Amino acid sequence: MARLTVITGPSGVGKGTLVRQLLARHPQIWLSVSATTRSPRPGEVDGESYFFLGREDFEQRVRAGGFLEWAEFAGNLYGTPRQAVEDHLAQGRPVLLEIELEGARQVRRTFPAAFQLFIKPPCFAELERRIRGRGTDSDAAIGQRLERARVELAAEEEFDAVLVNDDLGEACEQLERLMHLTSKKPPIGGASAAG
């Protein structure tokens, strides 16, 4: 039976890389698409990049319970539409939702049947190495990410399962087992575990 799997973990732990590997091996999985009130950027496609909604429409859906989770960032609203998730599950497709900790907590209340998975690094020093290795953030931003990571790592006991992302191949295979997927090729490899 298809189910919703919620994946969360601190920035730099490699969630995105794991999800890309998993989707390459299991194209039947539907990666949940968020809705937003921000304007589309060049190249973004409605229904693929995001569901682009007007603010009034978004707020009306919030009041009607139309989101599994939602939040406001930088003046724009973002959320996970309930209907799209339920439609794909009804079609027998596993649904994957990669989300931040607070969103995962909301989903736990709005969709208790979801399987909640926490991705963590082998150690905090490795997480810091991965974040610094990106070379995209200032020292101040890195400090904020690391402080946030400490808070998120303290929440791992809230989750149904915890997966340590040390070796990408092993982590992806473990993720497949946790999601009850049968292994399909192509083989895992060629990508860094950081992401």
Residue 116 scores a pLDDT above 80 = yes
Q: What is the β-pairing status of strands 67-73 and 115-120?
A: unpaired
**CATH number listed for the domain at residues 33-92:** 3.30.63.10
Tens of pLDDT, residue by residue over 82-92, are: 999 999 999 99
Could you give the angle at the alpha carbon of 15 between the alpha carbons of 65 and 39, nearest 5°? 50
Fold of 1-29+94-186: Rossmann fold (3.40.50)
Q: What is the β-pairing status of strands 51-52 and 35-36?
A: parallel
For every residue of 153-168, DSSP letters joined together read HTTGGGSSEEEE-SSH
Tens of pLDDT, residue by residue over 55-102, are: 999 999 999 999 999 999 889 999 999 999 999 999 999 999 999 999
Question: Domain boundaries in the chain?
Answer: 1-29+94-186, 33-92
